Homo-oligomer: A and B are copies of this chain.
Amino acid sequence: MEKEEKSSSIEQQMAEQVIFQKVNDWLGIELVENAKIFVGNTFMQPDFYSKADGIIGEIFAHIGKPKKAQDNKISNDILKMLLLEKIEGKIYRKIIVVCDEDEMKKLKGTSVLAECIRQFDIEVKMIEIETDLRDTLIEAQKRQRMVNA
C-alpha cells in the first residue's frame, strides 16, 4: 500500500491497472486508485478505495503458488485494512483481488493466512485476465526469480 516502496515489475503494474478497471465494473462504482489515506503522521495507498461506499482493497497480480514473501505482503495489507477500521471506528468492505486459481486456493485454504482472511471477514475475489497478459506476467516473474536467485 505504500507506493514509495513498490517493488513490482512494470508488467505487474500494467496487469494491476487492467484488473483495477475490471474491479470497477464488477462493483459498479467508481473507485479511487492509490488514494492517500492519512494515518498518524504517514499515509497508506490502497490499490482501490471508496470512502463513500466503505470499500478498501488490494490487487495481487501474481501467477502460481505464492511463496512466503507474497503471503507476508498480503498479511501486511490486511493489517493496514484493520488499521483503517480501527482508526475510523467503522467497518469497511475489505477485498483482496487475485487473478490466479493457485493464489485463490491458498487464500481459501487451511493456512494461518487463510484463517486470518476468514476471521477478519476479508473478501477474496478472483478476476480473470486474458491469456496474453497472464503469459506476460509469468515471463516477468521468471525474470525476477533469475535476478533474485
Which residues of A approach B to under 8 Å, CB–CB? Answer: 1-2, 5, 7, 39-44, 68-69, 71-73, 75-76, 78-80, 82-83, 86-87, 110-116, 118-120, 148
- Chain B residues with Cβ below 8 Å from A43 are 112
Closest chain B CB from A39 CB (angstroms) = 5
Q: Are A115 and B69 in contact (CB under 8 A)?
A: no
- Chain B residues with Cβ below 8 Å from A79 are 75, 78-79, 82, 116
Q: Are A110 and B40 in contact (CB under 8 A)?
A: yes
Known: A73-B72, A76-B76. A41 touches B2 (CB 8 A): no
Q: Are B75 and A112 in contact (CB under 8 A)?
A: no
Known: A39-B112, A40-B115, A116-B83. A68 touches B1 (CB 8 A): no
- A115's nearest neighbour on chain B, judged by CB, is B40
Q: Could you list some 26 contacts between A and B, CB below 8 A?
A: A2-B111, A7-B68, A39-B112, A39-B115, A40-B118, A41-B110, A41-B115, A42-B111, A42-B112, A42-B115, A44-B112, A72-B73, A72-B75, A72-B76, A75-B79, A76-B76, A76-B113, A78-B79, A79-B79, A79-B82, A82-B82, A83-B115, A83-B116, A86-B119, A87-B119, A148-B148
- A68's nearest neighbour on chain B, judged by CB, is B5
- Chain B residues with Cβ below 8 Å from A71 are 76
